[in-house]
Amino acid sequence: MRRSAVSLCGIAALVAGLVAAVPSAAGADSRTAPRAPHTPKTLVWKKCATPDHPRLECASLKVPLDHDRRHGQQITLALSRVRHTAQTYQGPLLVNPGGPGGSGLTMAGAVAASLPKKVAAQYDVIGFDPRGVGRSTPALTCRPGHAAPVRPDSVPTTPALESANLHRVQAFAKACAKKYAHVLPYIDTVSAAKDIDAIRAALGARKVNYFAYSYGTYLGAVYARLFPDRVRRMVLDSVVDPTAVWYEANLAQDFAFDARHKAFFAWVAKHHAAYKLGKDPAKIEAKWYALRAAVAKKPAGRKVGPAELEDTYLPGGYYNGYWPLLAEAFAAYANQHRTGPLVKAYESLGAVDAAGDNGYSVYAAVQCRDAAWPRDWDRWREDNWAVYAKAPFMTWNNVWYNAPCAFWPTAGLRPTDVRNSALPPVLLFQATDDAATPYEGAVRMHRELRRSRLVVEWGGGNHGVTLSGNACLDRYLAKYLDKGEVPSSGGEVDAVCKALPDPKPRRAQPGGKAARGAELHGLLGFRS
């Protein structure tokens, strides 16, 4: 999203001084808490350790498919836990990586390991797979292999390309309707928020602490709207614009991702000695689009056509730690006509496996159900050609990712009004150049949550900024989780931290040691 001067003026001042027909289910559109409190249930925790997270435990919890029908069909949520070890116990800290469709089981271990030991020891860090996701049941997979290569070119420059892409998204929507007709009306953010309260009750906690990224920030805000008296502390990192759910949010992303793609080209230009792609970012950008045209004619390794190329370079808009890998693949093709590195980059960052099929199915189910999307395809065509004229990188790829919502079998609900003056201080973190959740969305959430505090990473472009190596941001996070302390400037922005330097070419980093934050960004995934 293009940031306005008004949106950034608060930061500038602070720096200077220092975003077919399944019937709608009765009750699914409820914006109120369940009529009766959840009955506490006993959770049976079992060890489910991994080499990286040896203290991880797992359990499952049954919740109603429809929270307005407590004794109706039940579904199962998969939970994980890293238990507190300190005498001081501050309760459960639920963590969520976003999505929608992201699995949170491993995230409990990652957060517990990344927080300062003194802070992590005071909490039971709780991960969970939201309804429909991962090890929760039923887990949705509408159309296995939907993203298998090679897909039609995403930019519909001919009627045949537009028709081919429309056929794909319509087939996906029909497959979801056929397989999950009775479930889809309940795969939405409000239902997931009510699940969180069921988890809270099962944990025996009067109030919950919550720490989430990306879409998880919106889920947290909806939970807080429904259950304001059950929120103890809440951290929202890389914040969704709660006023743009979801069609408008995706249009805003297109501009932001195009700008972030240009930042990648500028970085490549600075490292001409490593990549030999030139010193002019505009000319390097032209070479990338020439690469795109070449794989449109002949897909690299019979796997990477133009849509897959976009899928491969999209992650660079989320996390600059991927830039060296992406630059190497680009240089190998552009300078030596070698396709192997590009195919490997696609397989590492862009290819979709079974977990990705599940995640995308839940993503579509939640986004298409949460809000009303345009059902007139002419509206999509007109809006997105206009955006593409200014931001060509991901516009049409993003269209086809979200286009099942134009044909979705369930009607869209009304987005939740998250305005809230009944909460304790909520701590927000946001990078100024985040592409997935543009900066203005964090400003709007800050205004909607009356007593919230906003900490900004000035000049940062990554999506997910805490627990990624920025000591300044992490100090604010630790103080808040430890003592409840929050910064306060009295202005639009409460604190500013300088962004970390961009990465260096991998050949300048002997041993290829992964940057801190790589595990986190792997958990957050893309399209969040």
Where in 111-180 does DSSP place strands (E)? 124-129
Q: How far apart are CA 93 and CA 375, in angstroms?
A: 39
Contact between 31 and 463 under an 8 Å Cβ cutoff? The reply is no
Q: So which residues are the catalytic ones? A: 214, 434, 463
Q: How far apart are CA 97 and CA 166, in angstroms?
A: 30
Work out whether strand 57-64 and strand 74-82 pair parallel, antiparallel, or are unpaired: antiparallel
Q: Which 8-state DSSP code applies to residue 349?
A: I
One-letter amino acid of 16: A
Q: How far apart are CA 405 and CA 379, in angstroms?
A: 13
One-letter amino acid of 23: P
Contact between 211 and 223 under an 8 Å Cβ cutoff? The reply is no
Contact between 391 and 254 under an 8 Å Cβ cutoff? The reply is yes
* Helix, strand, or coil (residue 60): strand
Residue 129 Cα to chain centre, angstroms: 14
Instruction: Dump the DSSP string for 262-299.
Output: HHHHHHHHHTHHHH-S-S-HHHHHHHHHHHHHHHHHS-
Q: Which residue has the tokens 């459960």?
A: 92
499 Cβ neighbours under 8 A, 6+ residues apart: 431, 457, 458, 459, 460, 461, 470
Work out whether strand 124-129 and strand 92-96 pair parallel, antiparallel, or are unpaired: parallel
Cis peptide before 380 (omega within 30 of 0): no
Instruction: Dump the DSSP string for 373-401.
Output: PP--HHHHHHHHHHHHTT-TTTHHHHHHH
Contact between 188 and 414 under an 8 Å Cβ cutoff? The reply is no
Q: Residue 54 belongs to what H/E stretch?
A: none
Q: Residue 49 belongs to what H/E stretch?
A: none
Sign of CA dihedral 481, 483, 484, 490: negative
415 Cβ neighbours under 8 A, 6+ residues apart: 242, 245, 370, 371
116 Cβ neighbours under 8 A, 6+ residues apart: 474, 478, 482
Contact between 14 and 496 under an 8 Å Cβ cutoff? The reply is yes
* Helix, strand, or coil (residue 471): helix
Total residues found in the chain within this entry: 528
